[in-house]
Amino acid sequence: MTHISLGTIRGAAVAMTLAWAGTTLVAGGAPQNGAAADRALTFSRDVAPIVFAKCAGCHRPGEVAPMSLLSFKDVRPWAGAIREKVATRVMPPWHADRTYGTFRNNPSLSQAEIDTIVRWVDGGAREGNPEDVPALPTFAQGWQIGKPDQVFEMTADFDVPARGTIDYQYFEVPTNFTEDRWMQAGEVRAGDRARVHHIIVYVREPQPRARPAVVRVRPILATSEPAAAPRPAPTAAPAPRPAPDGGAAPAAASRATDNMLVNWAVGEDAPVYPSGMAKKIPAGSTLIFQVHYTTNGTAGRDRSRLGLIFAQEPPAQEIRTAAIANPLFAIPGGASDHRVEAEATFSEDVKVWTMHPHMHLRGKDMTYTATYPDGRKEVVLRVPRFDFGWQTDYWLAQPLLLPKGSTLHVAAHFDNSAANKANPDPTATVRWGDQTWEEMMIGFFTYTVDGHIANRRQAGLPDTAARSAFFAGRAANPGQARAILDDRAASSR
């Protein structure tokens, strides 16, 4: 069976999204029925501020987008395609149903911004006076979060072959920490983005901690569906496997207590946590890089990195990542709307901060529904058209409070029919597995436990302006988030 790489998926999306033919919509100069207001719209004065604020964070050299949009010369050839995609809200990418929830990192354009771009294109896509162009955003070089306090990287290069299937690779990277550290912000940078689908960095502690068990997850089986063979829990990193070039450390015993620290895939923001919250990396811990490589017909080489910004003091609360997963499904061949469910029950009051649906090529939609102790139900996230090629952490504008006894239910649908153009094999019965032609059903979320104090002192850490600056900084100034971190830390000393 031919493996469908991320590059293939992204290439198809780019071809569809940025078709050169779209420029014929704006060729030829003056509009046929242009009003004075339409003719007055220019790139320099009206469109550049929108592009710089909402597009340039990805559409600049060194980032994930296939072309830069930092000037009129960059933008003009794509004007017709840009018009089409912003008018239909395909770009900027945002897959959540706007009916449910308010999210801090929603990059969507306002209707006024969409109208401005549409009118500009329909009016001939004029440049206007170059002196009207606002200053380009100042981007942190190399890191979205700004300069890290410390950078960890794989201990050796990994050679990616041109073809074939590559099992998940696991690389051990020692921290050599002599004291506990707390991650305030973290960012994974893939060394070979063309061949790295995703990276998850776990923390392996020298002595696993006994944590209060506040989340109980159960898969929900359809009455007509026999359980598939169970798989390992998705939040536990398996033992590292030696890489062909010796890049991975010797295999260690697998531990279910490994804790997810930072993950990366195309579309994900690097986490910057608010005041009083951080992720713990105990003294003596080892970082486990789980890397999913995909082949694309050309050999490559990867040495991925992790940058961390540390909290200046231990926080009041520890933030954790958990997964509501069902690994027991079997999706029949040809099924176009196969439902898979799982549910978490909470034994303490918790606050949920982010949610992250994860499926593979047959993933169709996913919905998170909270049920409160009084029986009230609330849809807190619905992703009606899941996109495997653009992974998103949905950061709630305000945390979701789930009192003790609440449940968080996750329902996903899968399209294993021939109508799904990304489907590798509509005739196959599909079960849980690492590779993209297999499937996963995971509803990741991050949370804190009310009343569980990570440190008796309330840390003098940055307020939520740091996270707001970071998300705005995808186009404006990501380094501002780090500046706020530094300023708040200095004022607390």
Helix axes 79-87, 111-122, angle to 10 degrees: 150
Query: Is residue 137 in a domain?
Result: no
Polymer length in residues for the chain? 493
Q: Are 266 and 376 within one domain?
A: yes
Query: Is residue 140 in a domain?
Result: no
Q: Are 287 and 329 within one domain?
A: yes
Tens-digit pLDDT profile for the chain (493 aa)?
Answer: 333 333 433 333 333 333 333 333 333 333 344 444 545 899 999 999 999 999 988 898 877 788 899 999 999 999 999 999 999 999 999 999 999 999 999 999 999 999 999 999 999 999 999 999 999 988 777 788 889 999 999 999 999 999 999 999 999 999 999 999 999 999 999 999 999 999 999 999 998 777 778 999 999 997 665 555 544 444 444 444 444 343 444 343 335 678 999 999 888 889 999 888 999 999 999 999 999 999 999 999 999 999 999 999 999 999 999 999 999 999 999 999 999 999 999 999 999 999 999 999 999 999 999 999 999 999 999 999 999 989 899 999 999 999 999 999 999 999 999 999 999 999 999 999 999 999 999 999 999 998 766 654 333 333 333 333 333 333 333 343 443 333 333 333 3
Q: Identity (one letter) of the amino acid at 335?
A: A
Helix, strand, coil proportions of the chain in percent (round to 5)?
20, 30, 55
Q: Are 113 and 186 within one domain?
A: no
**Boundary residue ending a domain (98, 132, 166):** 132
Query: Is residue 128 in a domain?
Result: yes
Query: Is residue 117 in a domain?
Result: yes
Q: Are 123 and 154 within one domain?
A: no
Provide the b/e sequence for 214-232 (b: ≥16 CB within 10 Å): bbebebebeeeeeebeeee
Query: Is residue 10 in a domain?
Result: yes
Q: Are 142 and 60 in contact (CB under 8 A)?
A: no
φ, ψ dihedrals at 137, nearest 5°: -60, 150
Question: How far is Cα 287 from Cα 417, in angstroms, rounded to an integer?
Answer: 40
DSSP 207-245: S-------EEEEEE--TTSPPPPP---TTSPPPP---TT
DSSP 254: -
Q: What per-residue confidence (pLDDT) applies to 258? A: 86
Question: How far is Cα 139 from Cα 479, in angstroms, rounded to an integer?
Answer: 7
Q: Are 95 and 237 within one domain?
A: no
Query: Is residue 143 in a domain?
Result: no
In the sheet that 259-265 helps form, which strands lie side by side, from edge to edge?
A: 169-174, 286-293, 196-204, 259-265
Q: Are 77 and 202 within one domain?
A: no
The domain that holds 332 is classified in CATH as: 2.60.120.230
φ, ψ dihedrals at 189, nearest 5°: -120, 115
Q: Are 179 and 229 within one domain?
A: yes
DSSP 265-285: ETTPPPPB--TTEEEEE-TT-
Q: Are 216 and 344 in contact (CB under 8 A)?
A: yes
* Beta strands in 249-337, from DSSP E residues, in sequence order: 259-265, 277-281, 286-293, 300-302, 305-310, 317-318, 320-325
Q: Are 145 and 189 in contact (CB under 8 A)?
A: no
Q: Are 161 and 112 within one domain?
A: no
Structure token pair of residue 393: 């952490």
Cα Rg, the chain, nearest whole Å: 23
Q: What per-residue confidence (pLDDT) applies to 454? A: 63
User: Does the pTM of the predicted model rise above 0.85?
Assistant: no
Q: Are 276 and 181 within one domain?
A: yes
Sign, CA torsion 289/158/68/385: negative
Question: How far is Cα 214 from Cα 479, in angstroms, rounded to an integer?
Answer: 36
Q: What per-residue confidence (pLDDT) applies to 266? A: 84
**Dihedral, 244, 245, 249, 255 alpha carbons, nearest 10:** -30
Q: Are 24 and 83 within one domain?
A: yes
Question: How far is Cα 329 from Cα 226, in angstroms, rounded to an integer?
Answer: 8
Q: Are 190 and 264 in contact (CB under 8 A)?
A: yes
Cβ neighbours of residue 456 closer than 8 Å, sequence gap 6 or more? none
Strands 338-346 and 407-414: antiparallel
Q: Are 253 and 374 within one domain?
A: yes
Sign, CA torsion 251/319/353/467: negative
Question: How far is Cα 163 from Cα 30, in angstroms, rounded to an integer?
Answer: 50
Compute the half-sphere exposure of residue 150: CA atoms within 13 Å on the CB side of its CA: 12
Instruction: Give residue 53's domain range.
Output: 6-132
Structure token pair of residue 241: 């496997």
Element (H, E) at 11: helix 6-17
Query: Is residue 73 in a domain?
Result: yes
Question: How far is Cα 265 from Cα 437, in angstroms, rounded to an integer?
Answer: 17
**Boundary residue ending a domain (76, 106, 132):** 132
Q: Are 124 and 457 in contact (CB under 8 A)?
A: no
Cis peptide leading into 92, omega within 30 of 0?
A: yes
Total domains in the fold of the chain: 2
Cβ neighbours of residue 111 closer than 8 Å, sequence gap 6 or more? none
**Boundary residue ending a domain (103, 132, 161):** 132
Q: Are 326 and 411 within one domain?
A: yes
Query: Is residue 291 in a domain?
Result: yes
